[in-house]
Amino acid sequence: MDDAAIFTRFHEAWTAGDIDTVLALAAPDVVARPVHGPLFTQSEFHGHDGLLRWFEEMTAPWESFEARVEEVHSTDDGVVGFLHLVGHREDGLFDARVASFCEIRDGHISSIVARDIWDVREELGV
């Protein structure tokens, strides 16, 4: 799989709740930094245990949660993808767009850094 396919498959698995695939695509020492820091118990999640905590914190409040990949662009270290995050529950909706920089090493995601999508679009000129 190329880097864009790894990124896309990771987020498809996240949406499907397929945590085994999420972890298989992530390096054991992966570091994740979500953009919506105040929504989570920590600003950085480390390793597979950290990914599990992040997944739980992101998806647990919602009856359904999707991380839709809208675009993927190659970078020197991996990819940057533009995501549409959508959470549904009876009393509300979460709807956000973020940019996610993923460094990919030896076919595994080694870091995920989420940033404001509009800032990144401007920086990349897309």
CA 66 to the chain's CA centroid: 11
According to the model, what pLDDT value does residue 42 have?
87
Structural domain total, the chain: 1
Question: pTM for this structure?
Answer: 0.92
Q: Which residues are CB-contacts of 55 (< 8 A; sequence separation ≥ 6)?
A: 14, 19, 22
What one-character-per-residue DSSP string does 32-90 give?
A: EE-S-GGGSS-S-EEHHHHHHHHHHHHHTTSSEEEEEEEEEEE-SSEEEEEEEEEEEET
Over residues 61-90, the mean pLDDT reads 93
Tokens representing 2 are 């190329």
Domain of residue 100, CATH code = 3.10.450.50
Structural domain harbouring 66 = 3-124
pLDDT band per the 50, 70, 90 thresholds, residue 31: very high
Query: Tokens 């009393």 appear where?
Result: 91
Spatial separation of the C-alpha atoms in residues 78 and 7, rounded to whole Å: 9
pLDDT band per the 50, 70, 90 thresholds, residue 126: confident
